[in-house]
Amino acid sequence: MPDLIQAVTKDSTPPQTDRPAAERIISGDPVFTTWNIEETGEIYAGIWQSTPGKWRIIYDEWEYFHILSGVSIISDDAGVVVTLRAGDSYVIRPGFRGTWEVVETTVKDYVIRL
């Protein structure tokens, strides 16, 4: 029987590393490290970390996240700019298009619904 309650920590699962697709990178060489705590096919939850860099983002999914550390800047294609710092929480909805720039290595916890 699966655990019905689980802590969201880096210790609970092995990390996976990745990068944005090369054609989406605007600057830097960002490296993503993800600890996927929950993967059900429709729901994903865990901890994500990125080193500095800037890339284009296109959201087809819904995401809630909470910034644990670091500084990032999200800009949409209309020019709205949001600076993210530790303690900030946001929802990004399907259809969002813009850029994500990690100024200082950023760590967030997240829940994504496909």
The model's pTM is 0.94
Residue carrying structure tokens 């960002």: 30
Per-residue pLDDT tens for 77-114?
A: 999 999 999 999 999 999 999 999 999 999 999 999 99
Q: Point out which residues pair with 114 in neighbouring strands.
A: none
pLDDT for res 63: 98
- Residue 75 confidence (pLDDT) above 60: yes
The pLDDT of residue 6 is: 87
State pLDDT tens for residues 35-71: 999 999 899 999 999 999 999 999 999 999 999 999 9
pLDDT value at position 4?
87
- Give 15-113's CATH code, choosing from 2.60.130.10, 3.50.50.60, 2.60.120.10, 3.40.50.300: 2.60.120.10
Q: For the chain, which residues make up each domain, given as ranges?
A: 15-113
Contact partners, residue 102, CB within 8 Å, separation at least 6: 28, 30, 50, 51, 52, 53, 54, 70, 71, 72
Spatial CA neighbour of 30 closest among 83, 88, 72 = 72
CA 4/CA 1 separation, integer angstroms = 9
Residues β-bridged to residue 72: 84, 102
Within 10 angstroms of residue 67's Cβ, the number of other Cβ atoms is: 18
Task: Note the pLDDT tens digit of each residue in 1-21.
Answer: 467 888 999 997 999 999 999
CB 91 within 8 A of CB 63: yes
